[in-house]
Amino acid sequence: MVRVAVLGSTGSIGVSTLKVIERHPERFRVVALAANRSVELLEEQARRHEPDRVVVADDEAFERCRDNGTHWAGGRDELLALAELEEADVIVNALVGFAGLELTLRALGAGKRLALANKESLVTGGDLVLSVLEENGGELLPVDSEHSAILQCIEGCEPEEVQRIVLTASGGPFRGWSPERLRSVSAEDALRHPTWDMGAKISIDSATLANKALEVIEAHVLYATPYERIEAVVHPQSIIHSFVEFVDGSVLAQLGFPTMELPILYALGWPGRVPDGELRTFDPIASSPLTFEAIDRRAFPLFGLGVEAGRTGGTAPTVYNAANEIAVEGFLDGSLTFPGMARVVEGTLEALGARPVTGIDLLLEVDEEARQVARTLAKQTTTAAGTKA
Ligand SMILES: NC(=O)c1ccc[n+]([C@@H]2O[C@H](COP(=O)([O-])OP(=O)(O)OC[C@H]3O[C@@H](n4cnc5c(N)ncnc54)[C@H](OP(=O)(O)O)[C@@H]3O)[C@@H](O)[C@H]2O)c1
């Protein structure tokens, strides 16, 4: 029996993880759950899965559910402690944003298997995460469809046999739109993703293609592949989850109808494959045609800015990530326009540059600094134009 702690259980990945676990009670058991503020859903999940520990990270939200018993706790320290829980074999990090980095470091520091959905951990803390992983003998399994696809393609290969990685991108809800047309899109339009049903932040990142830049950095870190050998291509059907080209010119891809339940199940069951009759059977005819397009970097500048931040290295990806989180918040609350998001991120990167990463304290500091700069720029972008920009 594999004992699983699902952290961020009330989000899109968290809920899908619990669905997968529920289908395999003979293999997996939930030993801990955690969320930030969604107390009602967390209570419902706790009744259903009967975990040993439940944590509400937000102190105020925890006040609303104090009566649930001593196995419930509140606060960020309690959340971080779950990453090291002795009774857990696998930690699922399904938090969104930079808030997930410390959890990743704590889980790997305790030598756990980490099923990592929180891509921002690898984007902001890449080298740090890898050194903690190496020092403590843990395991890092990606819960991102593209990176799970890559892992499935390279299993059994030597790293030097990989020539190139090609990540696929759905293109989001605004694929093919001109920069002019993108000026007036709303958050509601952006949240309507054509092929994936996800949390708000990653849905906006998919619409701007910032998500693909984060994934390029994630692939660079996970698979020790230089940036010049990682590409991204738009594939609107989201059937091929990524390609790997080998030195002999052969190309492997992993395919399937879009569902996060498959990469979740793969990470939980790795290195084996777990039979699961609930996942939709692949049908090549229903999936055709499969098409590919280049990313429009002019319409979606957050892609190029993110990849460039990755290439720059040091603290640049942390600055990019923090500014992007602030920009997404601004777009969701209606204070920034779609193109305004890229202006805020670009301005923040220009203002802060990059420093070598010396440890988590520096990353926390840079993240905070970048958020402040991005907030100021977002406010200026809004007020300078008289309306939102
Ligand atoms: N959704 C997908 O299909 C998908 C696919 C690939 C990768 N990912 C990655 O997976 C991660 C999660 O995405 P998602 O779409 O599942 O996000 P989501 O729906 O917004 O859920 C985020 C989860 O994290 C919790 N959380 C947020 N901030 C927290 C904090 N400061 N402390 C503790 N808990 C916190 C939330 O709790 P509350 O509910 O209480 O706010 C919620 O349970 C992201 O990094 C995303 O890029 C997602």
Domains of the chain: 2-142 (3.40.50.720), 156-257+281-384 (1.10.1740.10)
CA distance 268 to 23: 13
The kind and range of the H/E element at 7 are strand 2-7
Name the residue of 202, 261, 329 to mutate for ligand 1: max ligand atoms within 8 A of Cβ: 202
pLDDT at residue 278 in the model: 94
CA trace torsion 234, 240, 241, 242 (10° rounding) = -70
pLDDT of 356-383, one tens digit each? Answer: 999 999 999 999 999 999 999 999 986 5
pLDDT at residue 386 in the model: 47
Residues 336/323, Cβ–Cβ less than 8 Å: no
CA distance 83 to 94: 12
| Phi, psi for 223 (deg, rounded to 5) | -115, 15
Per DSSP, the residues of 160-209 read GGEEEEEEEE---TTTT--HHHHTT--HHHHH--SS----HHHHHHHHHT
Per DSSP, the residues of 233-250 read EE-TT--EEEEEEETTS-
Neighbours of 250 (CB within 10 A): 10
Name the residue of 96, 102, 193, 222 to mutate for ligand 1: max ligand atoms within 8 A of Cβ: 96
Q: Which ligand 1 atom sits nearest the alpha carbon of residue 196?
A: 3
Determine the 3-state secondary structure of 35 from DSSP. strand
What is the chain's mean pLDDT, rounded?
96
104 Cβ below 6 A of ligand 1 = no
Q: Which of 293, 347, 338 is nearest to 319 (CA)?
A: 347
Q: Whose CA is nearest to atom 45 of ligand 1?
A: 118
Q: Whose CA is nearest to atom 17 of ligand 1?
A: 199
85 Cβ below 6 A of ligand 1 = no
Per DSSP, the residues of 91-146 read EEE---SGGGHHHHHHHHHTT-EEEE--HHHHHHHHHHHHHHHHHHT-EEEE-SHH
CA distance 4 to 92: 7
Q: How far is the CA of 156 from the centre of ligand 1 (A)?
A: 31
Cis peptide before 25 (omega within 30 of 0): no
Q: Is 50 left (phi over 0), alpha (psi -120 to 50) or beta?
A: left
Q: Which ligand 1 atom sits nearest the alpha carbon of residue 198?
A: 1
Residues 193/206, Cβ–Cβ less than 8 Å: yes
Q: Which residues of the chain have pLDDT under 70?
A: 382-389
Q: How far is the CA of 203 from the centre of ligand 1 (A)?
A: 11
99 Cβ below 6 A of ligand 1 = yes
Q: How far is the CA of 294 from the centre of ligand 1 (A)?
A: 29
pLDDT at residue 383 in the model: 53
16 Cβ below 6 A of ligand 1 = no
Name the residue of 17, 33, 95 to mutate for ligand 1: max ligand atoms within 8 A of Cβ: 95
CA distance to 29, 110, 269, per residue, from 90 (Å) = 10, 11, 10
pLDDT of 235-274, one tens digit each? Answer: 999 999 999 999 999 999 999 999 999 999 999 999 999 9
CA angle 104, 155, 226 (to 5 degrees): 65
CA distance 246 to 46: 46
Q: Which of 58, 41, 39, 46 is nearest to 5 (CA)?
A: 46
Q: Which ligand 1 atom sits nearest the alpha carbon of residue 118?
A: 45
Q: Which of 187, 194, 170 is nearest to 295 (CA)?
A: 170
CA distance 108 to 105: 5
96 Cβ below 6 A of ligand 1 = yes
Cis peptide before 356 (omega within 30 of 0): no
Q: How far is the CA of 297 from the centre of ligand 1 (A)?
A: 27
Q: How far is the CA of 284 from the centre of ligand 1 (A)?
A: 32
CA distance 200 to 327: 13
Residues 341/371, Cβ–Cβ less than 8 Å: no
Pull the structure tokens for residue 133.
Answer: 């992983």
